[in-house]
Amino acid sequence: MLASASPRRADLLRQAGYEFIVRPSRQPELCKKPPSIPVEVWPVCVAMAKALAVPRRRNRNEIILAADTIVVVNGRILNKAHHRGHAREMLSLLMGRTHRVMTGLVLLTEGGQRLACATTVCRMKKPSSDWLEKYLDSGQWRGKAGAYGIQDPVVETHRMVQVISGEWHNVMGLPLELLRLELASLLTKRD
């Protein structure tokens, strides 16, 4: 069961061949990281809060999958942009810089859990102001950590963002290889 209303995560799961139902979490967005929590742990904490906020059924075989993605540049966490000006600020901060995309992944069952975090290192090229305005006009920045989606077709964001290391799907919000490994580990322990 996917504890997310993200259409990108659902699409990725479908494309990978998983069968699932969507039951979005009732957890409001947690945007402010407490100073005591390391940045690498924060997306896992948020994903766990999402997983725990999903109405559970008494089904021993049910697996809840929750995820949360953040972008980190120069020690600053970028969540989702609230408005166009906020998106412009985030994208301007990322332009010409290397950044990390981190996705916390949580798998919960009645008998166990798996917690993990994937990190992908990316670099955004310095685009023309024309590209930036087209991207902002497209609205594709909405609902995305760091105000961009590497898969966005209208203005070919995939040409603007280079993956240096890590999993490409992680930049879309769901590290499929890490999910496969964690799911295999969870199911092995359950049997």
Rounded to whole angstroms, how far apart are CA atoms 110 and 113? 8
Distance between CA 55 and CA 108 in Å, rounded? 12
Q: How far does Cα 191 stand from its chain's mean position? A: 29
Burial group, residue 53, by CB count within 10 angstroms (0-12, 13-18, 19+): middle
Task: Tokens for 64, please give them.
Answer: 């809840």
Contact criterion met (CB below 8 Å) for 103 and 175: yes
Catalytically annotated residues: 68
CA 95, CA 160: separation in Å to the nearest integer? 9
Q: Fill in the amino acid letter for 124.
A: M
